[in-house]
Amino acid sequence: MLQDKNTSKTDLSQLGEFGLIETLTKDIQIKNPSTLKGVGDDAAVLNFKSKNTLVSTDLLVEGIHFDLAYFPLKHLGYKSAIVNFSDIYAMNGTASQLLVGLAVSNRFPLEAIAEIYEGIKLACRLYDVDLVGGDTTSSRSGLILNPTVLGHVAQGKEVYRNGAQPNDLIVVTGDLGAAYMGLLVLQRENEVFKVNPQHQPDLSPYSYVVERQLKPEARKDVPVILEELKVQPTAMIDISDGLSSEVLHITKQSGVGAHIYAEKIPIDPQTVLTAEEFNISELTAALNGGEDYELLFTISQKDYEKIRYRKEFAVIGHITEEPGAYLITQDNQKVALKAQGWNALKNKS
């Protein structure tokens, strides 16, 4: 896992905005041939030639999307990049450039901001993405991160949410529910710490679920694998708000229905054990937890044999002609799926 290494503090007022930008971006190296000009001018200059350009942005606000009581700054920077990359891979594309908008209050010294950028730059290095610009400003309400990612996809290879057809198979990557259980563990240990500041939590029994929350990974490999297998998904979306919400997005935009089968949903054993400890269903975590950043996609049945033995994929259901998205339980009961995942605009009162 990533580690913070703050030891000294430099007030940002000593640097000013331009000094801060120069400090944070001085070691950036360009990797992608589509990046003609990165940091250092009024705008980045990109050239994608005959490919379609993809653009996505995700806003992360302190107190809404993350709690710095248990979220290390370097992890936060890493995650802020990853959640944006995931949107590009969900279009069957390749992420190639990142811009970062950052607003900070005066309680953050230079070293804290540098930690955030170390996480961002690490994500960019590991995913072959160029950090090409952004903006910084002050904030009166804590820390705000607003990365914007650009990418590309070959013309005709892009995948939208609205292409699912009746009898298509529903496929997910990886396993689901772990990130939500990791969040519950971190929140519980934070509450214990508030009561007893001497308490040192032992997170080793929860290492997988905690890492899935603090350091998620985007499925850069999936578009590559699908291309190698000559499989073109009919619809695709990343799982950021919970499986139920994402299935409903696809069925609504495609004008179809869906059946997913409870026993087919991949869930890691540590997620199961942690859910038992919290006295909740691991299925609830998978359906409604969110932040897994796996991919959900549909394929024609004729492509089933191509993915059948790939460990990256699990077929969890199929698309139906009749409207309505349902979970089919192990005792063959139909339960209507509801979008109960993350909702940043929900009234917390």
Q: What CATH number does the domain containing 66 carry? A: 3.30.1330.10
Longest dimension (CA), the chain: 65
Residue 8 inside a domain? The answer is: no
Reported as a single tens digit per residue, the pLDDT across 286-314 is: 999 999 999 999 999 999 999 999 999 99
Amino acid 119: pLDDT: 97
**Residue 192 and residue 89 in one domain:** no
* 182 and 293, same domain (yes or no): yes
Cβ neighbours of residue 279 closer than 8 Å, sequence gap 6 or more: none
Are residue 228 and residue 273 in the same domain, yes or no?
Answer: yes
pLDDT at 20: 59
> Are 185 and 146 within one domain?
no
- Distance between CA atoms of residues 331 and 96, nearest Å: 46
In the block, which residue shows the tokens 């070691």?
27
User: What residues are paired with 318 via a beta bridge?
Assistant: 169, 259
Backbone φ and ψ for 246, nearest 5 degrees, come out as: -70, -40
Same domain, 71 and 190: no
Among 153, 185, 200, the domain boundary falls at: 153
pLDDT at 158: 93
345 assigned to some structural domain:
no
Low-confidence ranges of the chain (pLDDT < 50): 345, 348-349
199 vs 3, 44, 192, 193, 195, CA distance in Å? 20, 48, 7, 6, 9
pLDDT attached to residue 57: 87
Is 244 part of a structural domain of the chain?
yes
For residue 281 the two structure tokens come to 């269903």
Domain limits at 286? Answer: 169-336
Task: Tell whether 20 and 82 lie within a shared domain.
Answer: yes
- Asked if residue 36 is part of any domain, the answer here is yes
Domain stop point among 153, 177, 212: 153
The CATH number linked to 182 is 3.90.650.10
Task: Give how many domains the chain has, as a whole number.
Answer: 2
Strand partners, 321: none
Contact present, 90 and 241 (Cβ < 8 Å): no
Task: Take residue 174 and report the two structure tokens written for it.
Answer: 């990886």
109 and 186 both lie in a single domain: no
Asked if residue 106 and residue 81 are part of one domain, the reply reads yes
Instruction: Round to whole Å and give the CA distance between 97 and 133.
Output: 9
Domain endpoint, select from 108, 127, 153: 153
pTM given for the model: 0.88
Q: What confidence score (pLDDT) does residue 190 get?
A: 93
In a domain, 316, yes or no: yes
Residue 296 is assigned to a structural domain of this protein: yes
